[in-house]
Chains A and B, each alone.
Chain A
Amino acid sequence: MYLWKCWRDTRSFFLVFLIGAAIVMPVAAVVCKGTGLVQEFGADAFQATFGLLLIAVALGLAAIGAIHEFGDKTAHFLFTKPRTRAYFVWVSWSVGLGELLAIAAVNFLAGWLTLLRFSKNPLHSPVIGPITPQLIEDLIMAIYTYSLAYSLTAVLRSGLKGLGAALGIVFGLPFLAIAVRWRWHINLPIPTSPIGHLSLVASDLTWIFIALLFVFGAQVVIERGEV
């Protein structure tokens, strides 16, 4: 029942972005028909839209999902149901994550099928080479951003505050890392970039683990919080 409610709260947002994810590349291909742009820059455009779309979806889902559940006004209703608060935190997060992955899958499939009409190797850019690793990075970045924004929204009990704080961290951290490197010559890890001497796969797994830690942190705060 709670799964249904999470779906009910986010379905409009999800469906709008799902449709967007399905049509963005085909529409772009139709618009650019005959120009040769798709053959030349299609893979790059696809990779860029994939990343942007997923970040937008991640922030949106995080802000509307958690605020429906843990906002000051209705928390008493939810938290007097006979389930642990951890259950509510993780189920709500999982529904959003599922929707994020579904949008990513649809966008990937639509982009891949569109590019396949123009190239035998659709996931290869004439400019930057294979785009698959970057698509994976984009997906991990989206999961990281979603978990961060979700946790902040849940803890701050406000979609707007959570969104603002997450945006600040996601976009502020690279600048902070640059400043620290410039001033003290220390390399701070930036989300989804390799961490120290770890391999790319190990770094990606670490970033996913950090994303899960955010949600766990939110769970602990919510469990200890008073309504």
Chain B
Amino acid sequence: MSELAIGVSGLTKMYGRLLAVKGLNLNVPRGSIYGFLGRNGAGKTSTIKMLLGLTRPASGSAHVLGMDVHTSRLPILRRTAFVSEKKNLPPSLTPAELVRFSRGFYPTWLDKAVEKYARLLEIPMGQRFERLSNGNQTKVFLLLALAQGAELLILDEPTTALDPVSVDQLLRVLAADGADRGTTVFFSSHQLEEVEQIAEHVGMIEGGRLLMESRLDDVKNDFRVITAAGSDLPREISSQVLSVEVKENFYRYVIAKDGESYARDLARNGATVTHVAALRLREIFLELVRKEKLCTSGNAGETPVLSSSSF
């Protein structure tokens, strides 16, 4: 059995002349909670659609639960639950009817999960879908996905339209479901605080390209911001140094790896290191996107694809 719930290699998607996904590689370990991060239009939804066979890649390969998405679409869909970015369901059906409709497709369907999550998420099961609030519509989607008893949950922007309390509930549910049943949760988002709350692995995508894929703990351990004072300190951008900002004799470095040793090197070269701190996921993401924009505009050479090999 493959160790990966999702394995993607060189995946490319074009819409006409627009290159939406460019040679994407992803490795989502089984049983993990994986946050797939990117701005709007970064290629997250296109990637997810290719994983589910809703759209075809121009090139590259993708395997879900060890099966090729091109040749094994139905077995994959039998074992995978999906929450779409578009939270639209047949408008005239009630959540109870949607449950009735969905149940027959999945031998692993969990009626107890329906009861549990309907109560927990406070979903009015007898009201027509079109009359539910946006938040409740999203919850219905999640209920259907969670009740499926799937091995893999693919959630595209699952927290859209949810209030903070519901977001918190959802994140707890996802974490608990992953822990209880060993479900792999692959969810896309640009709400970085949410991802930071539950994800074990993260992949960052920008302009259809993977910027980074790593364990979240490794990301947090690796990335550092260093402020130092001195003259003629290094200003070169490299795979280790993501950015350097200079204001008079004060330097601010964002380091992708071995921040502590870089700080020691600076001190050895006569710099006064005033501050070494960890970065939040949001700051890391912004730095990587900024770097990518510089690269694609031709100002900073090739962007390194950072990857920790801790899977």
List A residues at the B interface (Cβ < 8 Å).
Answer: 1-2, 4-5, 8-9, 68, 73-74, 76-77, 79-84, 226-227
Q: With A76-B86, A82-B74, A226-B54 in contact, do A1 and B93 touch (Cβ < 8 Å)?
A: no
Residue B307, interface by CB 8 Å: no
Which partner residue on chain A sits nearest B56 by CB separation? Answer: A226
Given the complex, which residues of A lie within 8 Å of B53, measured CB to CB?
79
Q: Are B77 and A82 touching (Cβ within 8 A)? A: yes
**A residues less than 8 Å from B191 (CB atoms):** none
On whether the beta carbons of B88 and A74 are closer than 8 Å, the reply is yes
List, in ascending order, chain B residues with CB within 8 A of A82's CB: 74-75, 77-78, 105-106
The interface of chain B, by Cβ under 8 A from chain A, is: 49, 52-56, 74-75, 77-78, 80, 82, 84, 86, 88-90, 92-93, 97, 100-106
Given A1-B103, A82-B106, A227-B54, output 10 extra A-B contacts at Cβ < 8 Å: A1-B100, A2-B104, A4-B100, A5-B90, A77-B84, A77-B88, A82-B74, A82-B105, A83-B105, A226-B54
Across the interface, do B54 and A80 meet the contact criterion of CB distance under 8 Å? yes
Q: Give A13 Cβ to nearest chain B Cβ, in Å.
A: 12
Contacts of A9 in B (CB 8 A): 90, 92
Q: Among A1, A74, A227, point to the contact of B49 (Cβ < 8 A).
A: A227
Q: How far, in whole Å, are A213 and B52 apart by their CA atoms in the complex?
A: 29
A227 to B204, CA, bound (A): 24
Q: Is there contact, CB below 8 Å, between A1 and B104? A: yes
A-B contacts, 30 of them at CB < 8 A, read A1-B100, A1-B104, A2-B104, A4-B100, A4-B101, A5-B93, A5-B101, A8-B92, A8-B97, A9-B92, A73-B86, A73-B88, A74-B90, A76-B54, A76-B84, A76-B86, A77-B84, A77-B90, A80-B54, A80-B77, A80-B80, A80-B82, A80-B84, A81-B77, A82-B105, A82-B106, A83-B105, A84-B74, A226-B56, A227-B49
Expressed in whole angstroms, the minimum distance between the Cβ of B77 and any Cβ of chain A is 4
Q: Is the interface of B mostly helix, strand, loop or mixed?
A: loop
Q: Which of A1, A2, A79, A82 has the most CB of B within 10 A?
A: A82
Q: In the complex, what's the smallest C-beta–C-beta distance from A6 to chain B, in angstroms?
A: 10
Kindly list chain A residues whose C-beta atoms are within 8 Å of the C-beta of B49: 226-227
Minimum CB–CB distance from B30 to chain A (whole Å) comes to: 20
A12: shortest Cβ distance to chain B, in Å?
Answer: 9
Contacts of B103 in A (CB 8 A): 1
Q: How far is the CA of A209 from the CA of B57 in the complex (A)?
A: 35
Closest to B76 in A: A82
A8 to B101 CA separation, bound complex (whole angstroms) = 10
Complex Cα distance, B104 from A169, in Å, reads: 38
Inter-subunit contact A68/B105 (CB<8 Å): no
CA distance A73 to B90 in the complex (A): 9
Say whether B93 contacts A8, CB under 8 Å: yes
Residues in A neighbouring B101, C-beta threshold 8 A: 1-2, 4-5
In the assembled complex, how far is the CB of residue A224 from the closest CB belonging to chain B, in whole angstroms?
9
- Bound-state Cα–Cα, A80 to B54, Å: 8
For the complex, what is the distance from the CA of A77 to the CA of B56, rounded to whole Å? Answer: 17
CB pair A1–B54 under 8 Å, yes or no, is no
Contacts of B105 in A (CB 8 A): 1, 81-83
- Name the residue of chain B whose CB is nearest to the CB of A77: B89
A79 to B77, CA, bound (A): 9
In the complex, chain B residues whose CB is within 8 Å of the CB of A73:
86, 88
Query: Cβ of B75: which chain A residues have Cβ within 8 Å of it?
Result: 82
Count chain B CB atoms within 10 A of each CB in A4, A76, A80 and give the residue with the most: A80
A15 to chain B, nearest CB (A): 15
Most buried by B among A2, A4, A74: A74
Q: How far is the CB of A82 from chain B (nearest CB, A)?
A: 4
A152 → chain B closest CB, angstroms: 21
Q: How far is the CB of A90 from chain B (nearest CB, A)?
A: 16
CA separation between A80 and B78, bound complex, in Å? 9
Tell me the complex Cα distance, A81–B150, Å.
12
User: Which chain A residues lie closer than 8 Å to B104 at the CB level?
Assistant: 1-2
> 6 tightest A-B contacts by CB?
A1-B104, A82-B77, A82-B78, A73-B88, A227-B54, A226-B55
In this complex, what residue of B is CB-closest to A78? B90
A5 / chain B contacts, CB cutoff of 8 Å: 90, 93, 101
Minimum CB–CB distance for B81 against chain A, Å: 9
CB contacts (< 8 Å) of B54 on chain A: these are: 76, 79-80, 226-227
Report chain A residues within 8 Å CB of B97. Answer: 8
A193 to chain B, nearest CB (A): 39
